[in-house]
Amino acid sequence: MKSARAYRALTRVYPPAFRREYAEPMVQLFADRARRDGTGRAWIRALRDLSVSAPNQYWETAMRASPQTRLVLAAIVTSVAAGVFLLVGGAILALSLLLVVAWQLYAILRVRGHRLATQQWWKLMASGGALFALLFAFFAMPWPDDWRSAVPGEVAWTVAMIGFSTSIVLVAAGALMGAAHWAAQHRGAGA
C-alpha cells in the first residue's frame, strides 16, 4: 500500500528513540484505519496526530537530556531567534537575545566544569571591544563612492551585523565571567 509507505517515511519526523520503538505499530495502525475509514480520513487523523505528538516527543526528549544538552539546545534556539530578529529588523530584541546567548555559553562552560584563569575574562572583553572598534572604524570611514558601490549593501549590512553582534556577545560573556570571578574571590575572602 503506497499510503502506508508514505506514512512510514513521515514517521521520520519523530525523535529516533521514539521512532525505533513505535514506528511499526504506528504504521500498522495507519494501514488499519486506511482500510476501515478510507485513506483520506486516515491521513487527516494521522497529520492531526503528528502535528501534536511530534513536538511533544521532542519536548520530552529534551527534558530527559542532560543539563549540558539542554543548555546547548537553548543556545541554538536563542541564536536562531536572534538571527531572525536581525533579519526582520528587530535589532534591540536581537541584541538582547545575543546577551542571553552569552549567558548560556557561560553556563555551558560552568556545567562542563571549566574554571577560568584570572586573566581570561578580560581577554574576552578586550577582544570584543577591539572587534567593535575595528568594525566601527571600517564602516564609519568616508570611503569613495566607487568603493562603496563595489560591495552590495546587503553584504555590507550582513557582515556588520554579524561582526557587531559577535563583539557584543564577547564583551557580555567576558563581563559575566569577570563578575563571577569577582564574586568567587569575595566569597573566598569572606570565608
| 164 burial via Cβ count (<10 Å: 0-12, 13-18, 19+) | buried
Q: How far is the C-alpha of 166 from the C-alpha of 105, rounded, in Å?
A: 13
Domain boundary among 64, 94, 117: 64
For residue 175, the one-letter residue type is A
Inter-residue contact 78 to 101 (CB < 8 Å): yes
Inter-residue contact 46 to 7 (CB < 8 Å): yes
- The answer to whether residues 87 and 53 belong to one domain is no
- The answer to whether residues 55 and 73 belong to one domain is no
- Containing structural domain, residue 56: 2-64
- The total number of structural domains in the chain stands at 2
Helices (H), 38-152: 39-64, 67-88, 91-111, 120-140, 145-150
- The answer to whether residues 126 and 49 belong to one domain is no
**pLDDT value at residue 149:** 74
Q: What is the pLDDT of residues 59-115, one digit of tens each?
A: 787 777 677 777 777 777 777 777 777 777 776 777 777 777 777 777 777 777 766
Predicted confidence band at 190 (pLDDT cuts at 50, 70, 90)?
low
Q: What is the pLDDT of residues 119-153, one digit of tens each?
A: 677 888 888 889 998 888 887 777 777 776 777 77
- The answer to whether residues 40 and 117 belong to one domain is no
